[in-house]
Structure 1
Amino acid sequence: MKKWIYSFNKNIDDVKNPAVLLGNKGIGLNLMTGLGLPVPQGFTILTSLNHYFQKNKSFPIEFENELAENILKLEEISNCKFGSTTNPLLLSVRSGSQKSMPGMLDTILNIGFNKKVLKFYEKQDKSLFAWDTWRRFLHMFSHVVYKIEHFYFDEILDSYLLGAGLQFEKDLEVNDIEEICNQYLILIEERIGRPFPEDVDEQLVLSIKAVMESWFNERAIDYRRINEIPDDFGTAVNIQRMVFGNLDDESATGVVFSRNPQDGKKRLKGEYIIRSQGEDIVSGFKTPWVISNVDKSE
């Protein structure tokens, strides 16, 4: 039977040309898991499914069954449950081609979040985290899946900040974010003609399809043409348990290199933002802190 998914902990030594099937990101996650590093659990959907989807505009039944099996395994490893309102498992969906295309393909974070999960975190005394994550998810999911431009979400946020006399997102309190989310939901329903999907299985399938479709977005096509990357490579998709850099003031998101990417010197180089998620640092819209004291003086 044809396989569409490889878990991060699966041995890939016997796989011919693993980068072709798993993409460079998938290989990296697999290797780090094999080394015993603390990689959030997950699995890689192979590029072969991307090729199938582009041809048929649907997924084969056997993939849907394999996806359900791998979600179940992830639940067992994490001791959480996808769709649970008492012990929720939240996921990220990321692309991963055999050739690096930084920032060209789409990512969706916080899949599995809905109003019931929000209420769960509120009961855990994590209201600010809950509403911030819901706001982020509504924006990112709707932009990537439904192609609602960032402008409309930014306009709502900026208008609210101005009206409330606030300067930055970090100044928002729970009641502020709740009002912004309500406006987001109205916007989304107006644009797609239905309420925002709260069924977690629907969220996951729509996210996988959207990330695969991003292989043929305009910026990705232009990037491949400029860098002479073949269109028929396709992208793998990495499904991974969420880690929350926006959980509290002792949490952060960042990027770190074991060597300086500018000159190749062997010294740690990286950046981070307190109480944020990954897209904040890669988008360039927020100013990060540097990790090394050397970089602070440059």
Structure 2
Amino acid sequence: MSWTLKLDGQVLPDRALIGGKAWSIARMLSLGLTVPPAFVVTTKACTAYQDGGWPEGLDAEIADGLAWLEAQTGRTFDGSTPLLLSVRSGAAISMPGMMDTVLNLGISDQTEAALAAESGEPGFARDTHRRFLELFASIVLRAPAHLEAGADPATWRAQIEAASGQNVPLDPRAQLKAAVRAVFDSWNSRRARKYRQHNSIPDDLGTAVTIQAMVFGNLDEDSGTGVLFSRNPLSGERVPFGEYLPKAQGEDVVSGKFTPLRLEAMHERVRTAHDQLLAASETLEQDSRDMQDIEFTVQKGKLYLLQARSAKRAPEAAVRCAVEMAEEGLIDCAEALARVSREQTLEILRPRLAVDSADTLTAIASGEGACPGVASGVVVTTPDEAEARARAGEAVVLARETTSPDDIHGMIAAKAIITAQGGATSHAAVVSRALGRPCVVGCGGGVMALAGQVVTVDGGGRVYAGTLPMIAPEANDHPWLSKLLAWAEAAGDTRYIAVPEAQDLAVLGTNHG
């Protein structure tokens, strides 16, 4: 049995075999888009690992895949023109941020020196080394470490050894095997199991592991990283929506530790790459017939696409996008109905702030709206407390500096989510839209001081003290929802015919927050 596949764009393998990330790479390559070369360890290997340990023959296949990457890139994994790797999980069903990624794998003291000499940017090479050690410590050794930028690799390694009781392997091939094993293990992490349970995803699918040549958004001022949605994931409007972070790597955006710039900043800094990104977005949306969530990196002004998937979207965006895509002829009415769940229609009709109810009030926190909606509850600052108090019947709002996959159980339990840091494409934003939770990100450090207070979160970007009065909207107030409901009635789709009346939604809204 073969455990790996090379992604050359010639064929589109079964998504269940190679996972969503690798499938998107193969798809983008088949469309002629620029993607760093990659091969994939299949979900069959993960299933075999869960059943009986490391699969026989996998080491040899990974070595063959590495040789292929070296030939594709003209670089060497541990030589004078270093090939560094991104090692990413990827299940067949999208689980945003629930599993693990190690970037810059393969760097050592020797390859750092080679990278510095080649690029003429010693600071970039040292930064790349630090990033790898932080991720390896956190994901593979399970000892999260914050490594100070001014130190040297020997100091960082000693710090990691003191925290974990383990050494970071100096052999890059040993690093790679450990990272693949960690991705396999992450399939059964608590957070992944919670997410699967909440979304009714089977436990036996397994995750693939995508092993891809690195490109460097942290290289220079003409480099950066970002996320682009082909349509607005909050409203569904047919305009590109995205964020860009210059001189950074993808984890900086997703983690929420840095607040990125609007996409317009990319146009100002790397205009050609920006224009190519918008063209690629249109190509991918037309090919998939669905809103796309695209991760990308720019290295020295050149655009590389890393992943494209169907975007997680707020309930209002789900309805508008489905209706407008049907009107554009991308999908038919039956497909539009299939793309919107009854739960999403109910979220749109949940109570909202009464007109003018907040006009005379001053928000106690404000930031960027990441998922629309309104909910009230007592602020808690740990996911465990959110889960425990919600289980006891309390309405809670989860406040975090920035969320991570380890917070998923608290995010599911909360009525709303607020963060001190991050932007509209951070982990908190993406997962809140998937869960349908009102969310405001980038509120500033003071948000953590709200612990214990009852607040009302307006997913448009504000947080108010206390519980504010709300009203239940009518379906006719929402042009896209009313059209969708008319299509459902004509089709005899009973999921939507019995949408509750406003007075019933008022009760539902009270329970919601």
Equivalents in 1 of 2:172, 2:77: separation in Å? 7
**Percent identical:** 38
Greater percentage in helix = 1
- In the alignment, is residue 144 of structure 1 matched against residue 143 of structure 2? no
Is the Cα–Cα contact under 8 Å of residues 112 and 204 in structure 1 kept in the other structure? Answer: yes
Verify the 8 A CA contact 1:269 1:292 in the aligned structure 2.
Answer: no
CA distance in 2, matches of 1:272, 1:10: 27
Tell me, in whole angstroms, the C-alpha distance in 2 between the residues paired with 1:187 and 1:218. 27
1:29-50 CA distance string (max 9 Å, x none)? 1011111110000112110000
Partner of 1:44, secondary structure, is strand
More strand by share: 2
- Counterpart of 2:485? none
2: CA distance, partners of 1:130 / 1:45: 28
Could you say which residue in structure 2 is the equivalent of 1:36? 32
Which of the pair has more CA radius of gyration? 2
Q: How does the TM-score come out when normalised to structure 2?
A: 0.50
Distance in structure 1 (CA, Å) of the matches to 2:166 and 2:193 = 31
Tell me whether 1:7 sits opposite 2:40 in the alignment. Answer: no
Q: Cα deviation per residue 1:150-204 (whole Å; 9 max; x = unaligned)?
A: xxx33x53xxxxxxxxxxxxxx6xxx243xx443211222244454211011011
Between the aligned partners of 1:82 and 1:23, the Cα distance in structure 2 is 25
Alignment counterpart, residue 223 of structure 2, candidates 225, 234, 251: 251
User: SS where residue 8 of structure 2 aligns?
Assistant: coil
> Quick check: 1:213 aligned with 2:212?
no
> Which residue of 1 is the match for residue 70 of structure 2?
75
Pick which of 27-36 and 186-195 moved more: 186-195
Amino acid at match of 2:111: V
Indicate yes or no: 2:22 matched with 1:23.
Answer: no
Matches within 5 A, 1:1-298: 2-9=1-8, 11-12=10-11, 18-61=14-57, 63-84=58-79, 86-124=80-118, 125-149=120-144, 153-154=145-146, 157=148, 176-178=150-152, 181-292=153-264
Distance 2:10 2:100 in 1: 27
**One-letter identity of the residue aligned with 1:239:** I
2: CA distance, partners of 1:102 / 1:195: 30
Tell me, which stretches of 5 or more residues in structure 2 are unaligned? 266-367, 369-460, 462-513
TM-score (norm 1): 0.84
Tell me if structure 2 keeps the 8 A contact 1:271–1:291.
yes
Ranges in structure 1 where 5+ consecutive residues have no aligned partner? 158-171
| Equivalent position amino acid for 1:271 in 2 | E
The letter of the residue matching 2:72 is I
CA RMSD of aligned residues (A): 2.0
Q: Which gives a bigger RCO, structure 1 or 2 (Cα 8 Å, sep 6+)?
A: 1
Q: Distance in 1 between matches of 2:192 and 2:88?
A: 15
C-alpha distance in structure 2 between counterparts of 1:183 and 1:77, whole Å: 35
Q: Which runs of 4+ in 1 moved over 3 A?
A: 10-13, 191-195
- Preserved contact between residue 135 and residue 177 of structure 1 (Cα < 8 Å): no
CA distance in 2, matches of 1:234, 1:114: 31
State the shift of 1:118 in Å.
Answer: 1.1
Shift of 1:58: 1.4
Residues in 2 aligned to 1:212 and 1:194: alpha-carbon distance in whole angstroms: 20
8 Å contact kept, 1:131–1:177: no
Q: Distance in 2 between matches of 1:265 and 1:98?
A: 28
